[in-house]
Amino acid sequence: MAKKPKTDSATVARNRKAWHDYFIEEEFEAGIALQGWEVKCLREGRAQLKESYVVVRTGELFLTGAYFSPLNNAASVNPDPVRDRKLLLHQRQIAHLTGSVERQGYTLVPLSLYWKKGRAKLKIALAKGKRQYDKRAAIREREWNREQHRLLKSTR
C-alpha cells in the first residue's frame, strides 16, 4: 500500500516576512525548550513569529520576540508570552552559526514553527538582509511570473 503524502498541517506558525526581507542562505532545524502552557498553545495553533529573531548569548541560541498566546485556564502559572526560549542544536551547528553571524554579517531568522514526531521544531535560517531595491526587484519578478502564467493559461 502506498504511503499518504505528507500534509503541511503540522505547521503552527510561519514568518512570511522573512522571505521578503532577507536572502535565505542556509536553513537549520532546531528543537525548542518550552514550558507546559506553551506546548498547549502550540497544539491550539496560538503562536506568532512575526517580530521574532534569534540571538546568540554565551554560546547558546535563543528565540526572542516570539509570541505564544497564554491560555485562559492557566491560573497557577503567570506566563510571559514573549519570553526568550532556548533553541536546541548540536554544538557544531551552534559554532557554525555563531561564526557566520559574528564574522560574515549574517542574521539568524526564524522561518517556521512546526511539529515533527510529537516534538516542537523551529526552522531557522542564516540570512542576509535585502535592500529596498532588492525587494522591489523581487516583487517585480513575482508579478511578471504571475502575468506570464496568466497569459499562458488564457491561450490554452
Q: Find the length of the chain.
A: 156
Into which CATH architecture does domain 11-130 fall?
Beta Barrel (2.40)
- From 4-8, 38-42, 77-81, 152-156, the region with the lowest mean pLDDT: 4-8
3-state secondary structure of 140: helix
- Give CA separation, 120 vs 21, 73, 92, 132, in Å: 25, 22, 21, 34
pLDDT at site 122: 94
Q: Judge contact between 99 and 8, C-beta under 8 A.
A: no
Given a cut of 60, whether residue 4 has pLDDT beyond it is: no
Please give the distance of CA 151 from its chain centroid, rounded to a whole number: 34
pLDDT in tens, 130-151: 777 777 888 888 888 898 888 8
CA–CA separation, 82 vs 64, rounded Å? 7
18: enclosing H helix or E strand: helix 16-21
Nearest CA-CA partner of 67 in 53, 48, 85: 48
Question: Cell numbers at residue 8, please?
Answer: 503541511
Write down the pTM of the prediction: 0.76
- What are the extents of the domains in the chain? 11-130
126: enclosing H helix or E strand: strand 119-129
pLDDT in tens, 27-77: 999 999 998 888 888 888 888 998 898 999 998 999 999 998 887 775 556
3-state secondary structure of 58: coil
